[in-house]
């Protein structure tokens, strides 16, 4: 279980951006962090794995405070996938191998090779694609490679910062379905910052609504009611069920 306790953060010379953020997330759950631009969503995500050092608070993972660990030890527990993919002429296999760096001492071992091979097979990154350069792939393929690199870290928590923002609808669904399956099958907890409420409703089972650096609501799908959509996004809308799936309907 992840237990976030009283996280606060501010950029140098600026007022406090994150104010007393606290929530918990069970193993195997997929959490969407939602809110308007500037609410502190991505900043909060980056506090969880030392990209930004929190001013105060704790991020407890099975009783261990991640904020008290070294970067190497955090990387053995938490993997981060950003919305931007580096433009590099590294091969797909070499990029995925980078996920084993937190465990390496003197070189790449047989165990590392096995883990990388299994991850690539799982995400269908086998065959000729292994030798292609990352910057030669489509956006959807690139995000699958970055997911594979993250899974090669064997994390307990997967952090995703708007990973579908530049993808077409087919690849958006494919990438998020992969993450959803990983949560369910491996009992990995995933936390995603995402703007598309309909994608969040389709794939996530926990929702954290942020407003002005604070938690507005946290819980299951029921927290996304008309009052919350109005208060957080300023829209007259409601969540409706259509053919077994939930979507946000905005009233004109």
Spatial contact of 91 and 130, defined as CB atoms under 8 Å apart: yes
Sequence-distant (6+) residues with CB within 8 A of 185 are none
**2-223 is a CATH 3.40.50.300 domain:** yes
Task: State the Cα–Cα distance between residues 212 and 43, nearest whole angstrom.
Answer: 12
Per-residue model confidence as pLDDT tens for the chain (252 residues) = 899 999 999 888 777 889 999 999 999 999 999 999 888 899 999 999 888 999 999 999 999 999 999 999 999 999 999 887 777 789 999 999 999 999 888 778 889 999 999 999 988 898 899 899 998 888 888 989 999 999 999 999 999 999 888 888 988 998 899 999 999 999 999 999 999 999 999 999 999 999 999 999 999 999 999 999 999 999 999 999 988 899 999 986
**Which residues lie closer than 8 Å to 187 by C-beta, 6 or more apart?**
27, 28
pTM over 0.85: yes
């Amino acid at each position: 279980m992840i237990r976030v306790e009283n996280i606060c953060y501010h950029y140098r010379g600026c007022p406090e951006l994150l104010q007393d953020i606290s929530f918990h997330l069970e193993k195997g759950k997929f959490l969407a962090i939602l809110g308007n631009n500037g609410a502190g969503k991505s900043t909060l995500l980056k506090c969880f794995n030392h990209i930004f050092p929190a001013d105060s608070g704790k991020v407890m993972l099975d009783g261990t405070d991640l904020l008290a660990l070294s970067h190497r030890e955090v990387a053995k527990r938490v993997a981060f996938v950003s919305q931007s993919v580096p433009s590099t002429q590294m091969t797909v296999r070499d990029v995925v191998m980078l996920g084993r760096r937190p465990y390496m001492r003197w070189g790449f071992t047989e165990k590392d090779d096995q883990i990388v091979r299994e991850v690539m097979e799982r995400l269908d990154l086998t065959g000729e694609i292994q030798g292609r350069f990352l910057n030669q792939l489509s956006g959807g393929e690139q995000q699958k490679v970055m997911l594979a690199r993250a899974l090669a870290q064997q994390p307990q928590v997967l952090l995703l910062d708007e990973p579908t923002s530049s993808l077409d609808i087919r690849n958006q669904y494919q990438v998020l379905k992969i993450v959803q399956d990983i949560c369910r099958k491996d009992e990995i907890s995933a936390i995603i910052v995402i703007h598309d409420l309909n994608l969040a409703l389709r794939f996530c089972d926990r929702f954290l609504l942020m407003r002005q650096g604070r938690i507005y609501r946290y819980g299951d799908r029921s927290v996304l009611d008309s009052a919350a959509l109005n208060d957080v996004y300023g829209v007259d809308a409601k969540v409706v069920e259509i053919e077994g799936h939930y979507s946000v309907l905005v009233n004109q």
